[in-house]
Structure 1
């Protein structure tokens, strides 16, 4: 394992990286265009994640600058205890060692997730998807330049240009030490990683998020929150997939028709349960299994419930454990909903699109975990650490 780099060195690399991204902006976009023209798939969400434009590069640069200015997450004291025999026992945060990030189609992950893991004192292994290979290799060359410019070994950031079989072989029998793996992508990638990995894996990236419209909802807020959650970015895990409406909402049928008309303006495919489809004339869902699905597309399922309890229980049955929101002016009900719904992030009167490390004030994120160990929800710099006990004695024996 590499000896941990000083915080000064880590920050210098991140600052240099932000400069290089600016300098190489035009080249990065040109190379990314090659990846885009090589991409022959018809997955709209994948294509959107693959694109690197000026706004994405601005985001990468900002994340490097913010990371460079944040406090060192390593070596922070978490616990301090003086034993009756005089032993001084201290617990401090510590780096994991080597973190492997496996991801699909998002060159910005090469910068942002890599940066968070690096700032946390870790060596990085990056395994991106073949569709973004040229963009990723270009960005990794900038990492290597930033490291070299600061007289640091380039093996702190390594790109694994492996196909599926080589990746599986590495996961099952790593040729170097790996302490933690973070897969970022669809369900197949996560299942593949969990099946073959021999070290801890943080599951990240699956959504299937719900919004519940209670009988005391502000319907104007409800409409704009649903449109925002469904249409602003379909290819992300905090996008909206399901809506539940309480039948105790006054004139819920009128609201249902208005919601359908609004979604249709955005060309969203709308499926309803029996009651909703009957009122609005949308297509009826053919199979209850669809409630488990994350769409990553202009598609939504809307159903009705007869009580708050039914809404909570339906969300807990079908959601991905990521995000759920209640639209209500009843704060007591909102609190009950938020306490009882089993998601990493729960909301009152706001869009699920805010579940994001940058939006939550973490200064970026490595991933959004739907696991309960070791961290839940957006994983920021301060969460990407393990811990270590320091015990100081003067000859004590037990």
Structure 2
């Protein structure tokens, strides 16, 4: 069987399963999620053994530590995945929800309700937790899903998918609703992206290269989860007791994720810049600074590397941050407009007027005042498990929870009406 035949066969099986899954009750879907959570815990040793194989291979191929962190599972992360499934099961089911209803003067009535999208194609890199998060949200919303992760996480992803399918079989539910693409060829992804009629939407989640490739290749509609070149602007009036912990958290709490801060914009008259930069360096952050920042802080010359033009557009996903000193809010806004990827941007200030202007002017999925960008996450937003962070403006934007994987349809009831 060729890789094309294999992909088509899996997509067709998913399409058939999606028809059945869309008709399940909320109770059946929630029972499936809870069973998957239980199965993950029962299969933890097998899952972690598979993950160790992937980690060893990635380490041998000299992948950076930040990448290995995204790839790694441990007991706590498996437990977190199981807990997220329980939390998702407790959330309201959006399928069948009435979005709007009205009636014409002649008695013809209209209802708009939420329905599943159908079959999701999910292409992602490194992070095996996406296997569970994506599958869980798809199942909760009555969809089927075909998954394809990176080769570096193959053993882990296949083990996680096997656990999901084992749970579904035990409940006599169609296990084909969650599949992992078996064809290993790179071209298998291209095939998946062109299966119009079988796949309803493609969602790429990873670096810029992956996303750009999918967008250019796909004939199926693409729901883009973009990269996170996230900025923090520390204004002149920023309270250092707020600003410094926020910046440290946004950069260091988990630098390998897309909501971590990558750029720091400092107001030239903020009196605590030296203290902040020193604390960042002490936390292990490499500082790449603009000429003005280096000029203003000669005492930190040993800590401040020179930033290049490329730094302002780079998503490091590592303990690195580029620092620019700006004259005012206008210059900060101009910089963000030029370099933002539309993910998450933040202002730290005690000036409510400047905060309001920043919140209104910045064009991003999530815009913060006096809070870390690390909150851009489905769980933190109260959505349960998350499908990714959408940086586009059509259909879904920001953390994608349950409603992002739904569409709507209209139900029209008449009594012999003709036009």
The answer to whether the superposition gives a TM-score over 0.5 is yes
Q: Cα offset for 1:390?
A: 0.5
Which position in structure 2 is the counterpart of 1:283?
305
Can you give the 5+ residue segments of structure 1 that lack an aligned partner in the other structure?
none
Can you give the 5+ residue segments of structure 2 that lack an aligned partner in the other structure?
1-14
1:256 correspondence with 2:273: yes
Distance, in Å, in 2 between the alignment partners of 1:173 and 1:14 is 28
8 Å contact from structure 1 (residues 276, 303) kept in 2: yes
Which of 219, 239, 247 is residue 268 of structure 2 equivalent to?
A: 247
1:390 correspondence with 2:411: yes
8 Å contact from structure 1 (residues 324, 346) kept in 2: yes
Distance, in Å, in 2 between the alignment partners of 1:386 and 1:22 is 33
Q: Cα offset for 1:173?
A: 4.3
8 Å contact from structure 1 (residues 256, 276) kept in 2: no
Which of 253, 259, 264 is residue 238 of structure 1 equivalent to?
A: 259
Which of 184, 187, 190 is residue 168 of structure 1 equivalent to?
A: 190
SS in 1 for 2:101: strand
Which position in structure 2 is the counterpart of 1:151?
172
Which of 346, 362, 366 is residue 345 of structure 1 equivalent to?
A: 366
Which position in structure 2 is the counterpart of 1:316?
337
Which position in structure 2 is the counterpart of 1:133?
154
Distance, in Å, in 1 between the alignment partners of 2:89 and 2:393 is 29
1:78 correspondence with 2:95: no
Distance, in Å, in 2 between the alignment partners of 1:353 and 1:149 is 38
Which position in structure 1 is the counterpart of 2:12?
none
1:273 correspondence with 2:273: no
1:142 correspondence with 2:159: no
Cα deviation code 1:307-359 (max 9, x no counterpart):
21111121111111011111111122111110101111111111100100100
TM-score, scaled relative to structure 2? 0.91
* Map 1:106-125 → 2, pairs under 5 A: 106-125=127-146
Of residues 380-389 and 87-96 in structure 1, the stretch that sits farther from structure 2 once superposed is 380-389
Which position in structure 1 is the counterpart of 2:11?
none
Which of 224, 243, 261 is residue 203 of structure 1 equivalent to?
A: 224
* Map 1:172-191 → 2, pairs under 5 A: 172-173=194-195, 177-191=198-212
Cα deviation code 1:166-211 (max 9, x no counterpart):
211332346x700111111111110111111111111114101001
Q: Report the aligned-residue RMSD.
A: 1.4
8 Å contact from structure 2 (residues 84, 384) kept in 1: yes
Distance, in Å, in 2 between the alignment partners of 1:286 and 1:309 is 22
Which position in structure 2 is the counterpart of 1:96?
117
SS in 2 for 1:71: coil
SS in 2 for 1:227: helix
SS in 1 for 2:77: helix
Which position in structure 2 is the counterpart of 1:30?
49
* Map 1:31-46 → 2, pairs under 5 A: 31-39=50-58, 40-46=61-67
Distance, in Å, in 2 between the alignment partners of 1:170 and 1:369 is 21
